[in-house]
Amino acid sequence: MAGLYLHIPFCNKKCLYCDFFSGNQLYLIDNYVDALIKEMSLRHEYIEDSFLDTIYFGGGTPSLLSEIHLAKLFSSIHKNFRVRSDAEITIECNPENINMTYVDYLFSMGINRISLGIQFLNNAILEKYNRNHSKEVIFDALEYIERSSFSNLSVDLIYSVPEIDQKEVSLSLNQLFNYNIKHVSAYSLTIASDTQLFWKIKAGIFKENNEDQFLSQYQVIYDFLVAKGFKQYEISNFALEGFYSRHNLAYWNQIPYIGVGVSSHSYNHKSRQWNHKNIKKYIRDLSGSEGNVCYEVEQLSNNQIYNEYIILKLRTFQGLSRNFISSNFDYNIINHFDTKMKLLKNRGHFIFENDLIIPKESDLVISDFLADILMY
């Protein structure tokens, strides 16, 4: 199994909190799509002979791609890769790009999962954080998807925003669940360095939420979704049984994947590589008869592989495998793991089931703290 990620780095407007690589040079989309096609033809052997189990269009705003763009990209995907007949194929969409014709076209192309970037259901907050749609447009988009053939809808939400209280979080959830949502990604508002939000907070224009608000709103979301039958299968992700994101699970289970496009990452168990962040250079480098991709590579040491395993597994309820660690790492790492795990067990962390060491619900919200102790 393997995954394919296509980065679409274009947005009409940049959200204040966003630290993903994107820009508003929409006039470059046609040439960028051609460059993606060229990169796939050059790098398809990166994942060797594996079938694609997941394809993910991320961004940026992939729903800015036209029907012609998508047709060209899917033609290239099927030319360069072997795609499983039941592959999960996801596209991230912004509500303002959604209409009935577009949704039907997405489905006709084989896309079977939409991830809709809602974030907030408050028009003042949507405008303040530079989102390009209103609450009314969000509900229109949900109506279109509801009337379509799609049966796998995920929504993205942001909580722990200073101007939004627990009551409004609860009201938003109740409004959203008039629709047939199968997956929810709920993220606490993150203040990444060098985002517009970071500098506005530094200037005193915006303020941060406090930890009590974060925990109380997290609990509102958790209680609501669990009552609806959702399982929390990762810190920020909840889904009905059978609708866990295979793309997400592949990443947390360290399944190989190839990323194409500017700033995209690839992983093949032994190394990581990432493309540079310059759209015009990316297009220029791939426009010649030969073409090349400018990227950097990091060969992973045993310590890094161990640390990544710890970090990723502690985000999920799948748990750590003591047998996996003892079979794949040297004595020093195994001894370190056993010593630190004994310490954490004595402090009341984790559930121990035969070979598996599974985070408790209370462990998930402090997974970074626990990982820091276990890392070598």
pLDDT of 106: 98
Residue 65 burial (CB < 10 Å; 0-12/13-18/19+)?
buried
pLDDT for position 242:
95
Q: What's the pLDDT score for residue 208?
A: 80
| Digit-coded pLDDT (tens) for 78-133 | 999 999 999 999 999 999 999 999 999 999 999 999 999 999 999 999 998 888 89
Q: What is the pLDDT of residue 325?
A: 95
Single-letter residue type at 251:
Y
Residue 303: the pLDDT is: 93
Q: CA nearest 314: which of 268, 357, 266?
A: 357
Question: Which pLDDT score, from 0 to 100, does residue 203 have?
Answer: 79
pLDDT of residue 175: 97
Q: Quote the pLDDT of residue 316.
A: 84
7-59 tens-digit pLDDT: 999 998 887 777 777 778 899 999 999 999 999 999 998 887 789 999 999 99
**How much is the pLDDT for 292?**
87
Stretches in the chain below the pLDDT threshold 70: none
Mode of pairing for the β-strands spanning 153-159 and 183-188: parallel
What pTM did the predictor assign?
0.92
Instruction: Say which residues have a Cβ less than 8 Å from residue 10's Cβ, sequence separation at least 6.
Output: 22, 23, 24, 25, 26, 28, 29, 32, 59, 60, 61, 64
What pLDDT score does 348 carry? 95
